[in-house]
Amino acid sequence: MTTPAPALYWLSRDFRFSDNAALNAALGHGPVLVVFLLDRQTREQGAASRWRLQRALEVFDAGLKRRSGQGVMILRGEAEEVFPALVQLTGARMVHQNDWPSPQMRQAQSHLREALRSVAGELKLYTGHLLASPQRIRTGQGGAFRVFTPFARALRRAGADRPRPDAPRQFAAAEPPAEVHGLTVLPLSGLNLAPDLHRGAAVLERFALPAGEAAAFERLDQFFDRAGPYPEARDRPDIDACSGLSEHLALGEISPRSLWALASLRAEADSAPGPGGAAAAGVEKFLSEVIWREFAWHLLLEDPQLTSLPWRRDWSGFPWRGEGEDLQRWQRGETGIALVDAGLREMWVTGRMHNRVRMVVASWLTKHLLIDWRLGLRHFENCLTDWDPASNAMNWQWVAGCGPDASPFFRIFNPETQAAKFDPKGQYRARWLAGWQGGRTTPEAAAFLASLPSDWRVSAPWAGASGALLQSGRSRALEEYRRFKDSDADS
């Protein structure tokens, strides 16, 4: 008896078995061969998110083995070389993939389609990274939204797509071929996706959140139980009020559609008369934040250069400063501004940073130091475990003032006022700055100091800068901005 040809499933950003349209479709065509590629876009991704991706891959591989007895096949190479070779070797015809509409992925998909044509193969894409198909959320004139509030209204009116049925608990998987001509098959055990993680994996491991699909659902469930204070407390880095789901969403360990469906059910149940009203409001606010993520992807789809060019192209000539000592000091959390330094140190040690603090550190870089937002974006890309190209770019452009619906340039965050408002007792700053205000060094602050590369000079205990820095940076930024705008008006 001949073995049936397998269906190929390209595992890229969808490390889950629930609401996984591509996996389900592949299962309908025969035993599935799950393939992960160590391709250019994975190798070029930031180190911390690559490290996190490996954890997602490990958990998915274990789940696949439990369900089918087979693991993920890992190949080094580009999609356009790997999949035609697999089609020829196995007799498969279709490659199924959940779409991840980043510009790099779009390019890889287009090359793959072209290459598959010569072997009579086909790439089939499925949605799953977004709440709703972008074609469904358009303005009255059929264009893309450029402003968040009407976008959010339209999305709520149209509703999120419904999650697809989950993959079966047991299914048939194809045994991965031992070798594929001309390509390197890599064992998961020997895969080191982030050899360039400067602070070393041990640092991130210590503060890492559990990875994988089960952990994502558990985190969501736990968040629902503490969602009541979220609307007010979500801006407080000293309080654990946010969901911590961004890593899971970035890796597709939970789909936004499943998250939306569960949250909507929960908000409905909690809004029944009784004590659940506050929780319902919390879940509602949480959903609004999830719409920001969706908006970011819509912007990136509309303008694939969102990660490298200002959305408002008239900002192309702004005289940003480039690399140098000020950028280095910012990256190392040594600006002398407590909230800024605490945030950058938190990111170095955990791969995470609270949203309010992300805004403050980004504002400090772009508005006080006048350094190019793209240098900040790249540092975040390298350091964040929840790195997401769309959210990262939209938010950097928002803070810098050159994005759609952005914070105006003249609105400059004052980190001291922000700290007084959102970290009123200084607990967050004390956690990350060794000896801050004469206090004891916390385990987090000690972990930061212990993780520093040998060529970084960072002083401990942490020393603050003079208040004059705050004012002088602000005036310089405003002056520069006026000059830029005046020259714009002249030209």
Query: Which chain residues interact with ligand FAD by CB under 6 A?
Result: 234, 242-246, 249-250, 286, 289-290, 292-293, 296, 355, 358-359, 362, 380, 384, 386-388, 391-392, 395-396, 399
Closest separation between CB of residue 243 and ligand FAD, Å?
3
Closest separation between CB of residue 290 and ligand FAD, Å?
4
Question: In this structure, which amino acid lies at residue 6?
Answer: P
- Rank residues 72 and 227 by Cβ distance to ligand FAD and give the closer one: 227
- Rank residues 150 and 467 by Cβ distance to ligand FAD and give the closer one: 150
Closest separation between CB of residue 414 and ligand FAD, Å?
16
Closest separation between CB of residue 294 and ligand FAD, Å?
8
- Rank residues 245 and 430 by Cβ distance to ligand FAD and give the closer one: 245
Closest separation between CB of residue 148 and ligand FAD, Å?
10
- Rank residues 90 and 246 by Cβ distance to ligand FAD and give the closer one: 246
C-alpha 460/C-alpha 260 separation (Å) is 45
- Rank residues 249 and 340 by Cβ distance to ligand FAD and give the closer one: 249
Peptide bond into 461 cis (omega under 30): yes
Q: At 126, list the tokens.
A: 């499925």
Task: Calculate the alpha carbon distances from 347 to 197, 351, 377 in Å.
Answer: 13, 5, 13
- Rank residues 20 and 243 by Cβ distance to ligand FAD and give the closer one: 243
Please spell the DSSP secondary structure of 340-387, one letter per residue.
HHHHHHHHHHHS---HHHHHHHHHIIIIIS-B-HHHHHHHHHHH-TT-
Closest separation between CB of residue 427 and ligand FAD, Å?
18
Closest separation between CB of residue 229 and ligand FAD, Å?
12
- Rank residues 171 and 409 by Cβ distance to ligand FAD and give the closer one: 409
- Rank residues 70 and 382 by Cβ distance to ligand FAD and give the closer one: 382
Sign of CA dihedral 194, 199, 204, 206: positive
Q: At 384, list the tokens.
A: 């964040």
What is the H or E stretch that residue 324 is in? none
**Exposure class string for 230-251: b at 16+ Cβ within 10 A, else e:** bbebbbbbbbebbbebbbbbbb
Closest separation between CB of residue 468 and ligand FAD, Å?
26
Closest separation between CB of residue 200 and ligand FAD, Å?
22
- Rank residues 100 and 396 by Cβ distance to ligand FAD and give the closer one: 396
- Rank residues 292 and 484 by Cβ distance to ligand FAD and give the closer one: 292
Residue in the block written with tokens 């779409």:
99
- Rank residues 29 and 431 by Cβ distance to ligand FAD and give the closer one: 431
- Rank residues 335 and 395 by Cβ distance to ligand FAD and give the closer one: 395
Closest separation between CB of residue 489 and ligand FAD, Å?
29
C-alpha 268/C-alpha 247 separation (Å) is 26
Asked whether 55 and 165 are in contact (CB, 8 A), the reply is no
Question: In this structure, which amino acid lies at residue 352?
Answer: R
- Rank residues 292 and 456 by Cβ distance to ligand FAD and give the closer one: 292
C-alpha 399/C-alpha 281 separation (Å) is 27
Q: Which long-range contacts (CB under 8 A, 24 or more apart) does 308-312 make?
A: 308/374, 310/397, 310/400, 310/402, 310/403, 311/397, 311/402, 311/403, 311/404, 311/406, 312/402, 312/403, 312/404, 312/406
C-alpha 247/C-alpha 150 separation (Å) is 27
Please return the burial class of 475, using the count of CB atoms within 10 Å of its CB with bins 0-12, 13-18 and 19+. Answer: exposed
Closest separation between CB of residue 65 and ligand FAD, Å?
29
Phi, psi of 454 (to 5 degrees): -60, -25
Asked whether 42 and 53 are in contact (CB, 8 A), the reply is yes
Closest separation between CB of residue 363 and ligand FAD, Å?
9
Closest separation between CB of residue 183 and ligand FAD, Å?
31
Please spell the DSSP secondary structure of 31-100, one letter per residue.
SEEEEEEE-HHHHHS-HHHHHHHHHHHHHHHHHHHHHHS---EEEES-HHHHHHHHHHHH---EEEEE--
Q: In what order do the strands lie in the sheet with 7-10?
A: 122-126, 94-98, 7-10, 32-38, 73-76, 184-186
